Amino acid sequence: MYSILSRNGYGILKSALSEKELDNIKKDLTMVPRVNFDMGGKGGKGASNSTEDLTFYLYNENDKRIYIPRYYGFQKYGAPTLCKLTGGADIDVKFIGSLREAQQEPIANFLKAANDPQKMGGIISVPCGFGKTIMSLYIACALKKKTIFISHKDFLNQQFTDTVAQFAPDAKVGIIKQKKVDVAGKDFIVASLQSLAMRDYDESIFDDIGFVIIDEVHHTGAQVFCKAFRKLNNPVILGLSATLNRKDGMRKVFEYYIGKSVYTLKNKEFCDVKVQIHKYFETHIDYSTVKLMWNGKENGAGMINNVCSFMPRTQFIISLLMDILSKEPNRRILILSERRNQLKDIEKFIVEYKICAGTGDATAAGYGYYVGGMKQADLAISAEKQIILATYQLAAEGFNVPSLNTIIFASPISDIQQSIGRILREPPEKRKYIPLCIDILDDFSIFKRKGAARLKFYNNNKYRVSYYVDNQEIESEESVAASAAVETNDDDNADDADFKKKLRFVEED
């Protein structure tokens, strides 16, 4: 079958396809996101109260051809008969740093895939702190091709620019953002994903790009952002992310364009993490009331508001913070919440109790904010503080403060993979303290399920978990594991029994 790979994608003559084959392609490339507007209730997976049609399509067609995402085409029909993509401009940039041994294999795997005409790239999925940005720069220097680095956040683009300055100081860096286009004579270009997806640019500015890097690539599974791929049919594409799955099921969107993961590291074997799970509950109307929506399902947002504004719980978190610093006074701590008002309450207690010698002046105190709406310069100042008060949203991705070693989940969420990676960025051999996670388990309603999801993550990553009630340890990881082993007398089933025993701590009333 005659096929062509061009800026439009992987093109196939319609005349070469049967009506059924064409229908099957269109069916495969018709995306219907799984949407769940259940705010914490027990509704079925994919349940939705919305009548909005969210369907979108990954193919384009004219009278003669249908154009499909290139990796989908590679897998279904093989290498194209004709490739009209240019090789991209050559660059002569030297990488002056050194890689860690653990980074060698993912780089080797990607370079092999980049030279495979039926892949032309792929995804590297490794935990936060593994050094994805440095690896991507090394690959760009190895390929010796003009490179575009794309992300959805300004600070991620700035992080790449800083990495270039450190490890490839002779390189020239340009930018594509909104109306600003500075690409001529540049070795590297940093680009806004939003701008590429939503704005029209002269196609010629992409002609000499030979290598594309997309950071936090899972965002390109969204209908709006995946439009950027139509501008990015360049020779080699690399996707980077610590987590590839999307709650809406749209992981396949970016995999159809870029390809599968060429290297995935799920468990951070080189990292030792201690987790303290503190069970908390109060029979108070302002805290433990189970709110319902009009349809009878639990109102998760409303209950989170109650939990975050309940002052005795915030005071409990402060007591844990003070206990940590009394034992290990030089720990660097990240406190995360979904509600800014809770962060404000925490700040008041930090000042009142003179934690970190706070004076009330955040510029002089040992704490700082890391929330949306702050200027990059102010974020940089906060990043130097001993205690950082941050929202989950801003600290979830690309938040790069390697000296952090402690995290407190002040409000209850389910998905903590990105957040916990913030305390794992420092190389293990340089760590003064073992990374510590403080988990507040609110013992009622939807928060039990959220706690079970977090516990599953800890278990899968083999973190050392201890269990507390009233800040008194009642059961450690070692005792749970030993008990499970005795009960099962079966090495193959020990891990499963271990997790079930831990889960009882979450579920018991």
d(C-alpha 77, C-alpha 79), whole Å = 7
Band (428; pLDDT cuts 50, 70, 90): confident
More confident residue, 421 or 310: 310
Residue 250 and residue 292 share a domain:
no
Task: Give the CATH number for residue 161.
Answer: 3.40.50.300
Residue ending a domain, among 266, 285, 313, is: 266
Tokens of 361: 């002046």
Residue 446 and residue 409 share a domain:
yes
Q: Averaged over 327-337, what is the pLDDT?
A: 95
Residue 432 and residue 294 share a domain:
yes
How many domains are there within the chain? 3
Q: How far is CA 226 from CA 47, 146, 231, 353, in A?
A: 24, 22, 10, 49
Residue 253 and residue 144 share a domain:
yes
Residue ending a domain, among 84, 108, 136, is: 84
Per-residue model confidence (pLDDT) at position 367: 94
Domain interval for residue 379: 274-507
Per-residue model confidence (pLDDT) at position 318: 97
Band (358; pLDDT cuts 50, 70, 90): very low
3 state SS for 182-215: ECCCCCEEEEEHHHHHHCCCCHHHHCCCCEEEEC
In the block, which residue shows the tokens 């340009």? 174
Residue 179 and residue 127 share a domain:
yes
Band (409; pLDDT cuts 50, 70, 90): very high
Per-residue model confidence (pLDDT) at position 348: 96
Residue 311 and residue 180 share a domain:
no
Band (426; pLDDT cuts 50, 70, 90): confident
Contact (Cβ atoms closer than 8 angstroms) between residue 279 and residue 443: yes
Residue 294 and residue 259 share a domain:
no
Residue 57 and residue 16 share a domain:
yes
More confident residue, 171 or 427: 171
Tokens of 394: 């801003």
* 359: pLDDT strictly greater than 90: no
Q: What is the pLDDT of residues 46-64, one digit of tens each?
A: 444 455 788 999 999 999 9
Q: How far is CA 414 from CA 219, 252, 417, in A?
A: 19, 23, 9
Mean pLDDT of the chain: 87
Q: What is the pLDDT of residues 239-291, one digit of tens each?
A: 999 889 888 999 999 999 999 999 998 655 456 899 999 999 999 999 999 99
* 491: pLDDT strictly greater than 60: no
* 300: pLDDT strictly greater than 70: yes
Residue 366 and residue 222 share a domain:
no
Q: Per mean pLDDT, which range of 93-97, 307-311, 479-483 is the poorest? A: 479-483
Q: DSSP 3-state assignment of 314?
A: helix
**Count of C-beta atoms within a 10 Å radius of residue 269:** 10
Residue 171 and residue 70 share a domain:
no
**Count of C-beta atoms within a 10 Å radius of residue 320:** 16
Per-residue model confidence (pLDDT) at position 267: 53
Give the number of C-alpha atoms closer than 13 A to the C-alpha of residue 209, restricted to the C-beta side: 26
Instruction: Kindly calculate the radius of gyration of the chain based on its CA atoms and give it in whole angstroms.
Output: 25
Per-residue model confidence (pLDDT) at position 507: 63
Band (503; pLDDT cuts 50, 70, 90): low
Most confident residue range from 277-281, 399-403, 467-471? 277-281
Q: What is the pLDDT of residues 78-113, one digit of tens each?
A: 999 999 998 899 999 999 999 999 899 999 999 999
* 505: pLDDT strictly greater than 90: no
Most confident residue range from 40-44, 445-449, 457-461, 498-502? 445-449
* 42: pLDDT strictly greater than 80: no
Contact (Cβ atoms closer than 8 angstroms) between residue 502 and residue 475: no
Residue ending a domain, among 266, 301, 326, is: 266
Q: Averaged over 133-151, what is the pLDDT?
A: 97
Phi-psi domain of 40 (left: phi exceeds 0; alpha: psi -120 through 50; beta: other)? left
Q: Where are the alpha helices (DSSP H) in 121-184?
A: 132-143, 154-167
Residue 246 and residue 137 share a domain:
yes
Tokens of 342: 């809770």
Helices 300-309, 311-327: inter-axial angle, 10-degree rounding = 60
What DSSP letter does each residue of 368-379 carry, written as one string?
Answer: EEE-TT--HHHH
Residue 92 and residue 79 share a domain:
no
**Count of C-beta atoms within a 10 Å radius of residue 11:** 25
Q: Per mean pLDDT, which range of 104-113, 230-239, 303-312 is the poorest? A: 230-239
3 state SS for 414-426: CCCHHHHHHHCCC
d(C-alpha 260, C-alpha 238), whole Å = 10
